Structure 1
Amino acid sequence: MILEAVMLNVKPGMENKFESAFKQASKIISLIDGYLSHELHRCIEVKGKYLLLVQWDNLEAHTTGFRESPKYEQWKKILHHFYDPFPTVEHFQIVESKTKNPEYY
């Protein structure tokens, strides 16, 4: 599993329109082979700042399967005009994972 992490800075005053557009774009990305899940988080301290986390089966599912597909063109059209500056996309592999076990609390 690969985690794609993207810090998104949305242009001032466009936050509500971005969130609405993101719901539409979510339907597109979820159709890609190798897509597992995604989360969009709104920053509490900085207005217009979001964190997008997408889980993929493997790196190629994102870099080739999504980025080289016609669906990515739809994604770009819906979302890319909201960003300033344009975001950097990074990919991560899990090193350790732990979840609080309710049996012990």
Structure 2
Amino acid sequence: MILEHCDIEIDPTKGAEFEEAILRGVNTVIAKAKGFQGFKVNRSIESPARYLLLIYWDTLENHTVDFRGSDAFADWRAIVGPFFVKPPFVEHMTLVGKSS
């Protein structure tokens, strides 16, 4: 399993609208993508303009090729993109360990 780590910065005055949009976008667009396994989204307490979106994929290619190369990616960006103050920082990670 691959973890997509997406660090997002928005205008903090639009937090409520962004939260609705990101949840709608994940649930109606990304959740239908090949290899999607689940997600978490968190807002920073210290920096309320910052959000962390974590998406679990079966493979790296499910995100980088299947999803990003699809029309669904444009649909996703149309929903959340207007809120970004700069491009999100995205990394992919593999699990090293976890608590039980």
Same fold (TM over 0.5): yes
Question: TM-score, normalised on structure 2?
Answer: 0.94
Larger radius of gyration: 1
Find out whether 1:68 has 2:49 as its counterpart.
no
Counterpart CA distance in 2 for 1:12 and 1:96 is 34
* 1:14-29 mapped onto 2 (5 Å cutoff): 14-26=14-26, 27-29=28-30
Aligned pairs for 1:80-91 (under 5 A) are 80-91=81-92
| Gaps in structure 2 of 5+ consecutive residues | none
User: Is 1:13 aligned with 2:24?
Assistant: no
Letter of the structure 1 residue corresponding to residue 6 of structure 2: V
Q: CA offset at residue 92 of structure 1?
A: 0.3
Aligned pair 1:92/2:93, yes or no?
A: yes
Percent of pairs identical after alignment? 34
Superposition CA RMSD, Å: 0.9
Match of 1:2 in 2: 2
Unaligned runs of 5+ in 1: 100-105
Aligned residues: 99
Q: Deviations over 1:27-80 (max 9, x none)?
A: 210000100000100111111111100000010000011101111110011111
- TM-score normalised over the length of structure 1: 0.90
- Tell me the amino acid that sits aligned with residue 5 of structure 1: H
